[in-house]
Amino acid sequence: MSGAGVSEVTVRVPMNIALVKYWGKRDEQLILPLNDSISLTVDKLTAETTVRMIQGVGENTVEINGRRVELSSNKRYQTVFDEALRLQRKRKEDSNQNETECISHHFEVISKTNFPVAAGLASSAAGFAAIGRAIQKILNLNDTQANRLARIGSGSACRSMFGGLVHWKKGEKEDGSDCVAVRADSENWKDLYCIILVFDDERKKVGSSEGMRRTRETSTLLKHRIESVVPERIEQVKKAYESRNFQDLARVIMADSNQFHAVCLDSVPPIRYLNESSWRLIEVVEKFNQQEVKAAYTFDAGPNACVIVQKDDVPAFIKAALQDISIPSEDLKSVEEDLNVSFEGPLNSSILCSKLIVSPMGGGPADS
Amino acid sequence: MSGAGVSEVTVRVPMNIALVKYWGKRDEQLILPLNDSISLTVDKLTAETTVRMIQGVGENTVEINGRRVELSSNKRYQTVFDEALRLQRKRKEDSNQNETECISHHFEVISKTNFPVAAGLASSAAGFAAIGRAIQKILNLNDTQANRLARIGSGSACRSMFGGLVHWKKGEKEDGSDCVAVRADSENWKDLYCIILVFDDERKKVGSSEGMRRTRETSTLLKHRIESVVPERIEQVKKAYESRNFQDLARVIMADSNQFHAVCLDSVPPIRYLNESSWRLIEVVEKFNQQEVKAAYTFDAGPNACVIVQKDDVPAFIKAALQDISIPSEDLKSVEEDLNVSFEGPLNSSILCSKLIVSPMGGGPADS
């Protein structure tokens, strides 16, 4: 873990997907959200990240998938490193360590995601969660401190720090000290899987920071969502998850995804993340659920779908999706091998999914 | 106007478009809305309608554009005829006319719209408004009574009964007696034009009655819209219209169209009326408005766009739209002749508009 003046930790942290969505910041600098959100990790999509904390003056460096990140235009990394050093100093002061001289440190981060960063799958959340967790280990920080590191890097990153159902509480305090993500279940529901369908899009996307700002400033519905709808839904998700009630869970997940996109549409000018393919997928899920609710779609700030099902329903859902959506055959093959099933197709369909990923959920991060 | 036991009136009534949208009924039978709405007529799109009230027992008949309407599956017509006869009886009772015997009557309606009924341009609203106004003339009813006739035929029809800005008040009473449409301006703003772009759609549409019911029953945002957002917007529209402030008017129109579609998306299952073409048109308007807000889009329960501009800006807007949207050349030619302008194009574009209509607004119905 450490050499001469070098501490090094490698962790693997999955991305996460919100079941009740985060949209809108009450503090842009500290990345404090306007409302609570609740999520599960997508265990197969990870960022494996090595953080080196090196004694002495030097340039901080970050490399993602072999490419150097320009830190002058990505201020968030510096914010996280500064906070890490502040926490280190604070701990030394608290423990009355007799080091009055200030020892300089700098950081090297090397991160590899096992999914394309460009696919719009919240890679930065996984990356910052990994950095937060690695620094936690290096500096022996508590969960709240690690949470804060991840959060000030990329808001929802703080939800990737645990397995099981994770509840990111917005908190009330101005300094963000009560804004933390915590586990909200007594035991992980291992039966939950997600099927991610990547739908490409040529449109220029409204980035989530810009989108959140626009919605907060212009939507006349957002306030009501935050005050009256979200708190109830958080409780509904917890209850459904704890009692393993898939149908109730699925209903809240879909309603909240739709409401998030509704407040985007209620913004000025309107923000649109769902495209024709997303809507086609919604129809596939509606049809699949006709007899019984067995799948729940959820969409973040982009057209890609995340469909949550119980493990046994994965093959049936993919089979249903293939009626309307073309899925790359190598991805189908990989699912066939993983789950020991076989699909027909892909059929000819006008809706193209460029990548299909099937993953268990809720496993949380792992040291490696 | 009348022969032996036959009263006949012909009127021409335009459709109307809401600037603040009606979505949700508080009473499905009487068609009482959950919120106020405010509208302008689209003067070029009319239903010319002849109503004959014939003494004696006979079958009611309705013919629209040469096709007989099956009244057993369109109960609304019967509701309107019954109400007309009730009003007639009531008036006779009130005036103490000594006719104790009940004279039977039946109705013949012949209606012609000058736009395709299938284009999703609220033809039924224009039709029922025409029936209401014709019966008003036959029976010498007051405006409130005529309003009610139109409304119980097709809710928003009551907004087509006047020129100028028309405010349909939801009312509070259970019998709907205070639910009326009234003029809300002191003088019609004759400079307002609308440019309607018809975008075809293969999708099976959720009808507006079904859609309203679904939103009322399932959206957690609708109540807030109704209670807190709409009343303010009605006042904003009135003020902007009265002071001829186009920019303020346009901003409210676009925000309310978007919010209507947002509450549709917030319904379970979500309702979607905007398609790719609609969104392309939104982008055209955004771009057109970059320097100054000179156009406002609004969409009803379908993908067709209604773009409201001041008369002088009609050619510039069409020119801008032609950059991204293909418009039938015969429609362009007709606008060129009407406005004495000339356009280039249509360019090759993937977005096809199947019909373009340019019309002055706010003129209201005319006897013919």
Q: Is residue A114 helix, strand or coil?
A: coil
Collect contacts of A120-123 with beta carbons under 8 A, ≥24 apart: A120/A198, A120/A205, A120/A300, A120/A301, A120/A302, A120/A303, A120/A304, A121/A15, A121/A45, A121/A196, A121/A198, A121/A304, A122/A15, A122/A16, A122/A17, A122/A156, A122/A300, A123/A15, A123/A47
Same domain, B256 and B332: yes
Asked whether residue A210 falls in the same domain as residue A120, the answer is no
Residue of B256, B258, B268, B324 to mutate, interface with A, max A Cβ within 10 Å? B258
Mark yes or no for CB contact A262/B258 under 8 Å: no
Q: Are residues A121 and A232 in the same domain?
A: no
Q: Which of B221, B229, B247, B350 to mutate to test the interface with A (most CBs of A within 10 A)?
A: B221
Q: Which residue has the tokens 């997303």?
A: A278
Maximum Cα–Cα distance across chain B: 71
Same domain, B178 and B207: no
**Do residue A227 and residue A355 come from a single domain?**
yes
ipTM above 0.90, yes or no: yes
Size of interface A-B (CB pairs under 8 A): 73
How far apart CA B55 and CA A196 sit, in angstroms, is 68
Q: Are strands B105-113 and B61-64 parallel, antiparallel or unpaired?
A: parallel
Cβ-based contacts of B255 with chain A (< 8 Å):
218, 220, 266, 268
Q: Which residues of B touch A270 (CB under 8 A)?
A: 258, 282
Q: In Å, how far are B84, B135, B177, B266 from B150, measured between CA atoms? A: 11, 10, 14, 30
Nearest to B221 among A259, A269, A279 (CB): A259
Chain A residues interacting with chain B (CB cutoff of 8 angstroms): 218, 220-221, 224-225, 228-229, 251, 254-255, 258-259, 261-263, 265-270, 272, 275-276, 279, 282, 286
Cis bond before residue A14 (omega within 30° of 0): no
Instruction: Determine the pLDDT at residue A118.
Output: 61
Domain end, chosen from A133, A165, A188, is at A188
> Are both A350 and A209 inside the same structural domain?
yes
Predicted local distance difference test score (pLDDT) of residue A97 = 66
Nearest of B220, B267, B254, B270 to residue A222 by alpha carbon: B220
- Mark whether A133 and A209 lie in a shared domain: no
- CB atoms near residue B114 (< 10 Å): 14
Would A87 be classed as within a structural domain?
yes
* Residue B201 in domain: yes
CA dist., res. A183 & res. A40, Å (int): 10
Judge if A182 and A199 occupy the same domain.
no
Confidence bin at B284 (pLDDT 50/70/90): very high
Q: Which residues of B touch A261 (CB under 8 A)?
A: 265
Instruction: Please indicate, yes or no, if residue A324 is contained in any of the structural domains.
Output: yes
Contact B32, B26 (CB under 8 A): yes
How many CB atoms within 10 Å of residue A99?
9
Exposure string for B339-364, b = 16+ CB within 10 A, e = fewer: eeeebebbeebebebbbbbbbbbbbb
- The answer to whether residues B138 and B231 belong to one domain is no
Which residues in chain B are closer than 8 Å to A254, comparing Cβ atoms? Answer: 268-269
**A56 CB burial (10 A radius; 0-12, 13-18, 19+):** exposed
Q: What span, in angstroms and rounded, lies between the C-alpha atoms of A335 and A331?
A: 6
pLDDT of residue B164: 96
Please report whether residue A29 resides in a domain. yes
Verify that B179 and B206 share a domain, yes or no.
no
Domain end position, chosen among A172, A188, A204:
A188
The whole-number average pLDDT for the span B234-253 is: 98
Chain B interface, best mutation among A202, A203, A258, A351, by max B CB count within 10 A = A258
B115 CB-side CA count, 13 A: 27
Same domain, A72 and A169: yes
User: Are residues A216 and A321 both part of a single domain?
Assistant: yes
Say which CATH number the domain at B216 has.
Answer: 3.30.70.890
CB-CB under 8 Å, A262 with B265: yes
| Residue B1 counted as domain residue | no
State the Cα–Cα distance between residues A168 and A187, nearest whole angstrom. 17
**A161, A188, A215 - which closes a domain:** A188
Q: Quote the mean pLDDT of chain B.
A: 93
Q: Which of A261-265, A292-296, B65-69, B235-239 has the lowest mean pLDDT?
A: B65-69
Residues of chain A with pLDDT under 50: 1
Q: Is B368 within a domain?
A: no
What's the CATH number where B39 sits?
A: 3.30.230.10
Considering only CB atoms, which chain B residues are within 8 Å of A272?
279
In a domain, A367, yes or no: no
Q: Give the total number of structural domains in chain B.
A: 2
Is the C-alpha dihedral spanning A111, A112, A118, A123 positive or negative?
Answer: negative
Banded model confidence at residue B97, pLDDT cuts 50, 70, 90 = low
- What contacts B282, CB < 8 A, 6 or more positions away? A269, A270, B274, B297
Q: Which of B117, B180, B113 is nearest to B147 (CA)?
A: B180
Containing structural domain, residue A21: 6-188
Look at residue A365 and tell me if it is in a domain.
no
**pLDDT per residue as tens digits for the range B317-327:** 999 999 999 99
Separation in Å, CA of A319 to nearest CA in chain B: 22
pLDDT at B157 over 90: yes
Distance CA A246, CA B24 (A): 31
